[in-house]
Amino acid sequence: MSTTAPTDDIQAIDAVVNLWTEEALSHRPDWRDGFFKGKIGVDETTAAGITLDEMLRRMDAAAIEKAFLVATKAGPLGPPACYHLPYSLVADAVRRHPDRFYGLAGIDPTQGMKGVRELQAAVEDLGFIGAHSYPHWFEIPPDGPQYYPFYAKCVELDIPIQLQVGQSLVYAPDYPRRSVGRPFTFDAVACHFPELRLIGIHLGIPWIDEMIAMAWKHPNVFIGTDAHSPKYWPPQFIQYVNTYGREKVIFGTDFPVLDFERTRSEIETLNLRPEAKRMLLRDNVRRIYKLD
């Protein structure tokens, strides 16, 4: 793999990373290989699972200082295509490497107050710093009422929440999910919860202009750049990152969807202004998540 090394001393913070140890993979359904190896193109070695030490080695090679590990909840429990990664697995990784990893608590909006209480415990007892959800897996859009108790709890706990926007990427066999994450669904949420720090991950593609519009309109809406290779970012988004949107974007890979080193390399080819690149890779996420 040909890469372009970072031309600066910026140590990036990756805001969207999947825990990919063998133990974590044991909680994922069998369809994962068809998706990650077949559709995404993840190499055989990575797809089989990597240790935390190997993940840190790859992060170091890409000048990525820290990563947010997602305790994913993909769909309601019951259907065989769905799964919930235990919070304890992510919490254990964070305990082992507290200077490198942070935890994000996956949200299942169908769990109601049980899920809200689990989110609170993840933050207060396990030290998680944010929430995360995939609306497509539940076919509940971000402005669906099932999410509102979780938004209120995020405000109370003073933590951001990430939600996938754009089209649904996964087509699990016998469990196809409609794309319900149009970025415009953030509009009502941002109005109803002006204190909520709301991050639309996966860029919002193919509705990138709609995602930019939401982040421009609302002070509390931000854009995560994970899951889509920088070399394929639409020109208007690169312009946004480089100019008036430089305070509204955060770096991510959704590893292993994107390789750490390749993603950093592709960002180098975008010729971003030094200030804009530093804000994308590091400064914005520190501010939004109050890491200081």
Stretch 110-117: mean pLDDT: 98
Alpha helix ranges (H) inside the chain: 22-25, 32-33, 44-47, 52-61, 87-96, 112-124, 135-138, 148-157, 186-192, 208-217, 235-242, 260-268, 274-278, 284-288
* Residue range of the domain that includes 248: 12-288
Residue 218 lies in a domain: yes
User: What value does the mean pLDDT of the chain take?
Assistant: 96
* pLDDT at residue 108 greater than cutoff 80: yes
Residue 221 lies in a domain: yes
* pLDDT at residue 26 greater than cutoff 60: yes
Residue 21 lies in a domain: yes
At residue 34, φ and ψ (nearest 5 deg) are -60, -35
Report the sign of the C-alpha dihedral through residues 87, 93, 96, 99, in that order. Answer: negative
Task: Work out how many domains the chain is built from and give that number.
Answer: 1
Q: What is the pLDDT of residue 2?
A: 52
Matching residue, tokens 């809200």: 116
Q: What is the pLDDT of residue 5?
A: 72
| Local structure of 1: helix, strand or coil | coil
Q: What is the pLDDT of residues 132-186, one digit of tens each?
A: 999 999 999 999 999 999 999 999 999 999 999 999 887 687 888 899 999 999 9
Residue 7 lies in a domain: no
Give the C-alpha separation, 247 to 274, whole Å.
13
User: Burial, 19: exposed, middle or buried (Cβ in 10 Å; 0-12, 13-18, 19+)?
Assistant: buried
CATH of the domain at 184: 3.20.20.140
Residue 5 lies in a domain: no
Contact 251, 225 (CB under 8 A): yes
Residue 4 lies in a domain: no
**Whether this model's pTM surpasses 0.85:** yes
Residue 2 lies in a domain: no
